[in-house]
Amino acid sequence: MSKETIRLEAIDPIEIYGAANRNLEALCAYYPNLTVAARGSEIHLEGCPEDVESFKTKLTLLIERRKHKTAVTPYDVEDLFDSEAAPDRYAISGNAVIVHSSEGKPIKARNRTQEEMVRAYFENDLIFAVGPAGTGKTYIAIALAVRALKNREIKRIILTRPAVEAGERLGFLPGDLKDKLDPYLQPLYDALGDMIPAKRLQEFMAEGTIQIAPLAYMRGRTLDRACVILDEAQNTNIGQLKMFLTRMGCDAKFIVTGDASQIDLPNKKDSGLLKGIELTKNIKGIKTISFKNEDIVRHPLVAKIVKAFEKHEE
Protein backbone atom coordinates (compact mmCIF):
# COMPACT_ATOMS: atom_id res chain seq x y z
CA MET A 1 0.00 0.00 0.00
CA SER A 2 1.12 3.54 -0.68
CA LYS A 3 0.09 6.82 0.93
CA GLU A 4 0.56 10.25 -0.57
CA THR A 5 -0.76 13.80 -0.21
CA ILE A 6 -1.28 16.12 -3.19
CA ARG A 7 -1.40 19.86 -2.57
CA LEU A 8 -3.18 22.12 -5.04
CA GLU A 9 -1.19 25.31 -5.35
CA ALA A 10 -2.10 28.60 -7.06
CA ILE A 11 -5.57 27.33 -7.94
CA ASP A 12 -8.93 27.33 -6.18
CA PRO A 13 -9.72 23.68 -5.31
CA ILE A 14 -13.36 24.06 -6.38
CA GLU A 15 -12.16 24.78 -9.93
CA ILE A 16 -10.81 21.21 -9.99
CA TYR A 17 -13.23 19.43 -7.65
CA GLY A 18 -16.27 20.97 -9.37
CA ALA A 19 -19.61 21.91 -7.86
CA ALA A 20 -20.53 19.44 -5.11
CA ASN A 21 -17.22 17.65 -5.86
CA ARG A 22 -18.66 16.21 -9.10
CA ASN A 23 -15.36 16.31 -11.00
CA LEU A 24 -13.50 14.66 -8.15
CA GLU A 25 -16.18 11.98 -7.78
CA ALA A 26 -16.02 11.28 -11.52
CA LEU A 27 -12.26 10.87 -11.28
CA CYS A 28 -12.48 8.63 -8.19
CA ALA A 29 -14.97 6.37 -9.99
CA TYR A 30 -12.11 5.16 -12.18
CA TYR A 31 -10.16 4.07 -9.07
CA PRO A 32 -12.53 1.89 -6.99
CA ASN A 33 -9.65 0.44 -4.95
CA LEU A 34 -8.10 3.82 -4.13
CA THR A 35 -9.07 5.74 -0.99
CA VAL A 36 -9.32 9.45 -1.76
CA ALA A 37 -10.01 12.14 0.86
CA ALA A 38 -10.08 15.80 -0.14
CA ARG A 39 -9.62 18.40 2.59
CA GLY A 40 -9.35 21.93 1.30
CA SER A 41 -6.39 22.19 -1.04
CA GLU A 42 -5.04 18.77 -0.01
CA ILE A 43 -5.97 15.39 -1.48
CA HIS A 44 -4.94 12.34 0.54
CA LEU A 45 -4.47 9.09 -1.37
CA GLU A 46 -4.11 5.54 -0.11
CA GLY A 47 -3.89 2.49 -2.32
CA CYS A 48 -1.59 0.49 -4.56
CA PRO A 49 1.35 2.50 -5.97
CA GLU A 50 0.11 2.10 -9.57
CA ASP A 51 -3.29 3.64 -8.74
CA VAL A 52 -1.71 6.47 -6.77
CA GLU A 53 0.64 7.39 -9.63
CA SER A 54 -2.11 7.09 -12.23
CA PHE A 55 -4.44 9.30 -10.19
CA LYS A 56 -1.71 11.94 -9.82
CA THR A 57 -1.10 11.91 -13.57
CA LYS A 58 -4.78 12.33 -14.44
CA LEU A 59 -5.20 15.08 -11.86
CA THR A 60 -2.22 16.94 -13.34
CA LEU A 61 -3.80 16.71 -16.80
CA LEU A 62 -7.10 17.99 -15.41
CA ILE A 63 -5.33 20.99 -13.84
CA GLU A 64 -3.52 21.65 -17.13
CA ARG A 65 -6.84 21.52 -18.98
CA ARG A 66 -8.31 24.09 -16.57
CA LYS A 67 -5.71 26.59 -17.83
CA HIS A 68 -7.32 26.45 -21.29
CA LYS A 69 -10.98 26.52 -20.25
CA THR A 70 -13.40 28.63 -18.24
CA ALA A 71 -14.23 25.56 -16.14
CA VAL A 72 -13.67 21.81 -16.22
CA THR A 73 -16.55 19.35 -15.98
CA PRO A 74 -17.07 15.59 -15.46
CA TYR A 75 -16.96 15.33 -19.27
CA ASP A 76 -13.34 16.48 -19.14
CA VAL A 77 -12.61 13.70 -16.67
CA GLU A 78 -14.11 11.20 -19.11
CA ASP A 79 -11.93 12.60 -21.88
CA LEU A 80 -8.81 11.96 -19.80
CA PHE A 81 -9.55 8.25 -20.02
CA ASP A 82 -10.52 8.37 -23.69
CA SER A 83 -7.89 6.82 -25.94
CA GLU A 84 -7.81 9.99 -28.06
CA ALA A 85 -7.08 12.31 -25.14
CA ALA A 86 -3.51 13.54 -24.82
CA PRO A 87 -1.56 16.15 -22.82
CA ASP A 88 -1.04 18.23 -25.99
CA ARG A 89 -4.71 18.22 -26.90
CA TYR A 90 -4.84 22.01 -26.90
CA ALA A 91 -1.66 22.58 -28.91
CA ILE A 92 -1.51 20.21 -31.85
CA SER A 93 1.28 20.36 -34.39
CA GLY A 94 0.54 22.04 -37.69
CA ASN A 95 0.06 18.84 -39.72
CA ALA A 96 -1.79 16.79 -37.07
CA VAL A 97 -5.43 15.77 -37.44
CA ILE A 98 -7.60 18.73 -36.46
CA VAL A 99 -10.89 16.85 -36.32
CA HIS A 100 -12.56 13.89 -38.02
CA SER A 101 -15.29 14.38 -40.59
CA SER A 102 -18.83 13.11 -40.06
CA GLU A 103 -17.73 10.08 -42.12
CA GLY A 104 -14.69 9.47 -39.94
CA LYS A 105 -12.09 10.87 -42.34
CA PRO A 106 -9.24 12.89 -40.79
CA ILE A 107 -9.22 16.60 -41.54
CA LYS A 108 -5.83 18.25 -41.30
CA ALA A 109 -3.70 20.95 -42.89
CA ARG A 110 -2.82 20.18 -46.52
CA ASN A 111 0.07 22.58 -47.02
CA ARG A 112 2.55 24.67 -45.06
CA THR A 113 0.41 27.81 -44.97
CA GLN A 114 -2.54 25.87 -43.54
CA GLU A 115 -0.15 24.37 -40.98
CA GLU A 116 0.94 27.90 -40.09
CA MET A 117 -2.71 28.88 -39.64
CA VAL A 118 -3.32 25.94 -37.30
CA ARG A 119 -0.32 26.85 -35.15
CA ALA A 120 -1.31 30.52 -35.13
CA TYR A 121 -4.77 29.60 -33.82
CA PHE A 122 -3.31 28.04 -30.68
CA GLU A 123 -0.84 30.86 -30.10
CA ASN A 124 -3.17 33.83 -30.67
CA ASP A 125 -6.72 34.91 -29.85
CA LEU A 126 -7.30 36.67 -33.18
CA ILE A 127 -6.01 35.59 -36.57
CA PHE A 128 -6.50 37.01 -40.04
CA ALA A 129 -6.32 34.47 -42.88
CA VAL A 130 -6.18 36.22 -46.25
CA GLY A 131 -5.61 34.96 -49.76
CA PRO A 132 -7.24 33.69 -52.96
CA ALA A 133 -10.30 31.47 -53.23
CA GLY A 134 -9.76 27.75 -52.83
CA THR A 135 -6.93 27.87 -50.29
CA GLY A 136 -9.06 26.35 -47.51
CA LYS A 137 -9.04 29.39 -45.21
CA THR A 138 -12.65 29.08 -44.10
CA TYR A 139 -12.62 25.27 -44.04
CA ILE A 140 -9.62 25.11 -41.71
CA ALA A 141 -11.14 27.86 -39.54
CA ILE A 142 -14.37 25.90 -39.14
CA ALA A 143 -12.45 22.67 -38.46
CA LEU A 144 -10.58 24.42 -35.64
CA ALA A 145 -13.87 25.73 -34.25
CA VAL A 146 -15.52 22.28 -34.36
CA ARG A 147 -12.49 20.78 -32.64
CA ALA A 148 -12.71 23.37 -29.87
CA LEU A 149 -16.43 22.67 -29.43
CA LYS A 150 -15.92 18.91 -29.28
CA ASN A 151 -13.12 19.38 -26.74
CA ARG A 152 -15.42 21.68 -24.73
CA GLU A 153 -12.89 24.51 -24.88
CA ILE A 154 -15.73 26.78 -26.04
CA LYS A 155 -19.49 26.70 -25.58
CA ARG A 156 -20.55 27.89 -29.03
CA ILE A 157 -19.49 28.54 -32.61
CA ILE A 158 -20.61 31.70 -34.37
CA LEU A 159 -20.16 32.06 -38.12
CA THR A 160 -20.91 35.33 -39.85
CA ARG A 161 -20.62 37.04 -43.21
CA PRO A 162 -21.40 40.54 -44.45
CA ALA A 163 -24.62 40.49 -46.47
CA VAL A 164 -23.03 41.59 -49.74
CA GLU A 165 -23.38 39.41 -52.82
CA ALA A 166 -21.41 39.13 -56.04
CA GLY A 167 -23.61 40.66 -58.72
CA GLU A 168 -26.90 40.18 -56.84
CA ARG A 169 -28.97 42.11 -54.35
CA LEU A 170 -30.78 40.45 -51.44
CA GLY A 171 -33.99 42.30 -52.21
CA PHE A 172 -34.42 40.43 -55.48
CA LEU A 173 -34.21 37.02 -53.83
CA PRO A 174 -37.50 35.30 -52.83
CA GLY A 175 -38.74 34.72 -49.28
CA ASP A 176 -38.22 36.36 -45.89
CA LEU A 177 -34.86 37.52 -44.54
CA LYS A 178 -33.79 34.01 -43.49
CA ASP A 179 -34.73 32.62 -46.91
CA LYS A 180 -32.75 35.40 -48.59
CA LEU A 181 -29.66 34.87 -46.43
CA ASP A 182 -29.52 31.06 -46.24
CA PRO A 183 -28.23 30.55 -49.82
CA TYR A 184 -25.54 33.15 -49.21
CA LEU A 185 -24.44 31.39 -46.01
CA GLN A 186 -24.57 27.94 -47.65
CA PRO A 187 -20.76 27.51 -47.85
CA LEU A 188 -20.65 27.69 -44.06
CA TYR A 189 -23.44 25.09 -43.74
CA ASP A 190 -21.55 22.86 -46.21
CA ALA A 191 -18.32 22.96 -44.20
CA LEU A 192 -20.13 22.24 -40.94
CA GLY A 193 -22.00 19.38 -42.61
CA ASP A 194 -18.68 17.77 -43.51
CA MET A 195 -17.63 17.68 -39.86
CA ILE A 196 -20.82 17.18 -37.84
CA PRO A 197 -23.55 14.58 -38.56
CA ALA A 198 -26.70 16.21 -39.94
CA LYS A 199 -28.95 15.37 -36.98
CA ARG A 200 -26.43 16.60 -34.43
CA LEU A 201 -25.83 19.76 -36.46
CA GLN A 202 -29.55 20.51 -36.44
CA GLU A 203 -29.61 20.06 -32.67
CA PHE A 204 -26.63 22.36 -32.22
CA MET A 205 -28.27 25.04 -34.34
CA ALA A 206 -31.66 24.67 -32.66
CA GLU A 207 -30.15 25.15 -29.21
CA GLY A 208 -27.88 28.00 -30.33
CA THR A 209 -24.61 26.14 -29.82
CA ILE A 210 -23.84 26.85 -33.47
CA GLN A 211 -25.09 30.13 -34.91
CA ILE A 212 -24.85 31.38 -38.49
CA ALA A 213 -25.89 34.97 -39.05
CA PRO A 214 -25.17 38.05 -41.16
CA LEU A 215 -22.61 40.48 -39.76
CA ALA A 216 -25.23 43.11 -38.89
CA TYR A 217 -26.63 40.74 -36.24
CA MET A 218 -23.34 40.95 -34.27
CA ARG A 219 -23.86 44.56 -33.18
CA GLY A 220 -24.31 44.99 -29.44
CA ARG A 221 -23.23 41.46 -28.53
CA THR A 222 -20.38 40.34 -26.29
CA LEU A 223 -19.17 36.92 -27.36
CA ASP A 224 -17.65 34.98 -24.45
CA ARG A 225 -16.16 31.50 -24.65
CA ALA A 226 -16.86 31.19 -28.35
CA CYS A 227 -15.01 30.63 -31.59
CA VAL A 228 -16.24 33.35 -33.92
CA ILE A 229 -15.45 33.32 -37.63
CA LEU A 230 -15.97 36.27 -39.97
CA ASP A 231 -15.93 35.00 -43.55
CA GLU A 232 -15.63 37.13 -46.72
CA ALA A 233 -14.25 39.98 -44.61
CA GLN A 234 -13.10 41.84 -47.73
CA ASN A 235 -16.74 42.93 -48.05
CA THR A 236 -16.72 44.79 -44.74
CA ASN A 237 -15.86 48.45 -44.37
CA ILE A 238 -13.50 49.56 -41.61
CA GLY A 239 -16.40 50.46 -39.29
CA GLN A 240 -18.03 47.05 -39.65
CA LEU A 241 -14.70 45.30 -39.05
CA LYS A 242 -14.10 47.36 -35.91
CA MET A 243 -17.61 46.53 -34.69
CA PHE A 244 -16.96 42.81 -35.22
CA LEU A 245 -13.53 42.72 -33.57
CA THR A 246 -14.78 44.58 -30.51
CA ARG A 247 -17.38 41.85 -29.87
CA MET A 248 -14.57 39.67 -28.43
CA GLY A 249 -15.31 38.49 -24.90
CA CYS A 250 -13.50 36.32 -22.37
CA ASP A 251 -12.03 32.99 -23.53
CA ALA A 252 -12.94 33.75 -27.15
CA LYS A 253 -11.13 32.98 -30.38
CA PHE A 254 -11.74 35.16 -33.44
CA ILE A 255 -10.83 34.18 -37.01
CA VAL A 256 -11.21 36.61 -39.92
CA THR A 257 -10.94 35.25 -43.46
CA GLY A 258 -11.05 37.10 -46.75
CA ASP A 259 -9.72 37.62 -50.25
CA ALA A 260 -8.77 41.20 -51.17
CA SER A 261 -9.08 40.33 -54.87
CA GLN A 262 -12.81 39.49 -54.56
CA ILE A 263 -14.33 42.68 -53.16
CA ASP A 264 -18.04 42.94 -54.00
CA LEU A 265 -18.59 46.41 -52.52
CA PRO A 266 -19.69 49.12 -54.99
CA ASN A 267 -16.51 51.03 -54.17
CA LYS A 268 -13.65 48.58 -53.69
CA LYS A 269 -11.68 51.19 -51.76
CA ASP A 270 -14.26 50.94 -48.95
CA SER A 271 -13.02 47.46 -47.99
CA GLY A 272 -11.69 47.47 -44.45
CA LEU A 273 -9.90 44.10 -44.43
CA LEU A 274 -6.38 45.22 -45.38
CA LYS A 275 -6.79 48.46 -43.43
CA GLY A 276 -7.74 46.47 -40.34
CA ILE A 277 -4.76 44.16 -40.72
CA GLU A 278 -2.44 47.16 -41.02
CA LEU A 279 -3.92 48.87 -37.95
CA THR A 280 -3.58 45.78 -35.73
CA LYS A 281 -0.33 44.31 -37.05
CA ASN A 282 1.75 45.29 -33.99
CA ILE A 283 -0.73 44.06 -31.36
CA LYS A 284 0.39 41.00 -29.42
CA GLY A 285 -2.07 38.11 -29.70
CA ILE A 286 -3.01 38.92 -33.30
CA LYS A 287 -1.50 37.05 -36.24
CA THR A 288 -1.97 37.38 -40.00
CA ILE A 289 -1.60 34.34 -42.28
CA SER A 290 -1.18 35.09 -45.98
CA PHE A 291 -2.17 32.44 -48.53
CA LYS A 292 -0.83 32.44 -52.09
CA ASN A 293 -2.02 30.95 -55.38
CA GLU A 294 0.22 27.93 -54.81
CA ASP A 295 -1.77 27.16 -51.64
CA ILE A 296 -5.00 26.51 -53.57
CA VAL A 297 -6.28 23.02 -52.71
CA ARG A 298 -9.33 22.78 -54.96
CA HIS A 299 -9.29 21.36 -58.49
CA PRO A 300 -5.88 21.99 -60.16
CA LEU A 301 -7.60 24.23 -62.70
CA VAL A 302 -8.67 26.69 -59.99
CA ALA A 303 -5.11 27.95 -59.46
CA LYS A 304 -4.73 28.49 -63.21
CA ILE A 305 -8.09 30.29 -63.40
CA VAL A 306 -7.17 32.61 -60.53
CA LYS A 307 -3.84 33.40 -62.15
CA ALA A 308 -5.47 34.10 -65.54
CA PHE A 309 -7.99 36.52 -64.04
CA GLU A 310 -5.32 38.29 -62.01
CA LYS A 311 -3.28 38.78 -65.16
CA HIS A 312 -6.31 40.22 -66.94
CA GLU A 313 -7.05 42.63 -64.07
CA GLU A 314 -3.47 43.84 -64.06
What confidence category does residue 162 fall into, taking pLDDT thresholds of 50, 70 and 90? confident
What confidence category does residue 87 fall into, taking pLDDT thresholds of 50, 70 and 90? very low
What's the pLDDT score for residue 84? 43
What confidence category does residue 228 fall into, taking pLDDT thresholds of 50, 70 and 90? very high
Q: Averaged over 108-121, what is the pLDDT?
A: 92
Say yes or no to pLDDT of 275 above 70. yes
| Among the listed residues 234, 297, 287, the one whose alpha carbon sits nearest the alpha carbon of residue 126 | 287
What's the pLDDT score for residue 113? 95
Q: Let me know the angle formed at the C-alpha of 21 by 15 and 25, rounded to the nearest 5 degrees.
A: 120
Identify the weakest region by mean pLDDT among 23-32, 93-102, 106-115, 130-139: 93-102
Which 8-state DSSP code applies to residue 227?
E
22: helix, strand or coil? helix
Its pTM stands at 0.68
Identify the weakest region by mean pLDDT among 53-57, 98-102, 115-119, 190-194: 98-102
DSSP track, 140-178: HHHHHHHHHHHTTS-SEEEEEE-S--SS--GGGSSSSHH
Which residues contact residue 89 at a Cβ distance below 8 angstroms, ignoring those fewer than 6 apart?
A: 65, 151
Sign of CA dihedral 314, 163, 108, 72: positive
| Among the listed residues 239, 190, 244, 193, the one whose alpha carbon sits nearest the alpha carbon of residue 214 | 244
Q: Determine what percent of the chain is predicted with pLDDT higher than 70.
A: 87
Q: Determine what percent of the chain is predicted with pLDDT higher than 90.
A: 48
Count of other CB atoms within 10 angstroms of residue 39: 9
307: helix, strand or coil? helix
Say yes or no to pLDDT of 168 above 50. no
Mean pLDDT, the chain, whole residue set: 85
What's the pLDDT score for residue 178? 58
Say which residue, 143 or 104, is predicted with more confidence.
Answer: 143
- β-bridge mates for residue 3, sequence order: 46
| Among the listed residues 148, 138, 256, 227, the one whose alpha carbon sits nearest the alpha carbon of residue 190 | 138
Query: 272 and 278 in contact (C-beta within 8 Å)?
Result: no
Query: For 21-44, what is each residue's pLDDT tens digit?
Result: 989 998 998 898 999 999 999 999
Query: 239 and 171 in contact (C-beta within 8 Å)?
Result: no
